[in-house]
Amino acid sequence: MPTSVRVGVIAMSVLAALLLLNSILLWLGFDAAVDRIVEDVDDITRDEARTFVILALVPYLVLGLLLAAAAAFLSRRQPWARWAGVVATALLTALTLVNMVAAGGITVASLLLLVLSVAALTSLLARTTREWVPGGRPAG
């Protein structure tokens, strides 16, 4: 397995773990998160706060599952896993950048997600990864 593939698999695995852990913790603290939003934001109903928390949870859960599958199957040389990883990391990079702009700054968590996403994306797009996965173009 080329180094670029290893880096991609490791980065996607770490991202998947972080996103899934975040989703699990948010789900377990769902009511507390809703309560906090209702208390902190003026003119928001409990139903609107629930919707907001669900909309915050679902994209990270879906991306986490997709990254976990991509990491597991890329190491088995599945071509679809490379493209699933590219799509998931590109979406996560964009989502993280939008969240950073919306929040008005960089947090340690957003910086970690951004660095890992870019590392995974560049590794998945590397020539050595493309050549290693069946159906990739040969060098030349």
10-residue mean pLDDT profile of the chain (140 residues): values are 94 96 92 89 88 90 96 94 95 92 88 94 94 68
DSSP letter, residue 135? T
pLDDT digits 0-9 by tens, 113-130: 999 999 999 999 999 999
Angstrom distance (rounded) from CA 29 to CA 43: 22
Task: Quickly count helices (H) and strands (E) in the chain.
Answer: 6, 0
CB 53, CB 33: distance < 8 Å: yes
Q: What angle, rounded to 10 degrees, do the helices at 3-28 and 108-125 form?
A: 140
Closest CA to 34 of 56, 19, 52, 22: 52
- Burial class, 73, CB count within 10 angstroms (exposed 0-12 / middle 13-18 / buried 19+): middle
CB 14, CB 138: distance < 8 Å: no
